[in-house]
Structure 1
């Protein structure tokens, strides 16, 4: 999760796509148009209910146009061939304002 957050901060689209599970991966991301200034990441919870599945709850803070925002997501990951991949997530707060991690 932390590496994906860092990739968003650095706008590393190839890394984000490479760590996104093929079943839910978008064809591309438009990070060049992203005006967010990322401010911090707080991992609230991590669960590994099964050997090859994990859940990470986090809050990421950012600013757009000088206005502070937060992204609260409960993400699902799966491990294949020893590598973890982001699958999808739920947004317990402000679902209309949330964007995927």
Structure 2
């Protein structure tokens, strides 16, 4: 299954773009504003937000110190799968390593990132990541 910025929001029973089960029990509530219980769940919801073009969620879950002025989700990229390689939490800090497959303008690729998260005001937020 692929998702791109032109996708509509899945039904609650549909498979979540992140591959974690039914959208209504996986990323749907987090995209609606519920706090992610772990950094990995936040990472999954951010992948889903990129797949669905949800700038509001991406902005809300990006640390204000590192958040760009503009988040581009309408660049013609469609997302085809997420694999979490590992996730480690240590108090209010966490690292999540993942691979995400994409397609853009007829070409396929894979994004690999080691993302850093912190808990801020009781909620996990994305800080930054090392792509490679």
Q: TM-score over 0.5 for the alignment? A: yes
2:55 matches 1:13: yes
Aligned to 2:99: 59
Aligned to 2:46: 4
* Distance (whole Å) between structure 1 residues aligned to residue 73 and residue 124 of structure 2: 22
> What TM-score does the superposition give when structure 2 sets the normalisation length?
0.66
Name segments (4+ residues, structure 1) moved above 3 Å: none
Unaligned runs of 5+ in 1: 93-101
Residue 67 of structure 1 deviates from its aligned partner by 1.2
- Give 1:1-101 correspondences, 5 Å limit: 1-32=43-74, 34-48=75-89, 50-92=90-132
Residue 30 of structure 1 deviates from its aligned partner by 2.4
Higher strand fraction (1 or 2): 1
* Distance (whole Å) between structure 1 residues aligned to residue 78 and residue 65 of structure 2: 29
SS in structure 1 at match of 2:58: helix
Figure out how many residues of one structure are paired with residues of the other and give that number: 90
Residue 56 of structure 1 deviates from its aligned partner by 0.1
Q: RMSD in angstroms over aligned alpha carbons?
A: 0.9
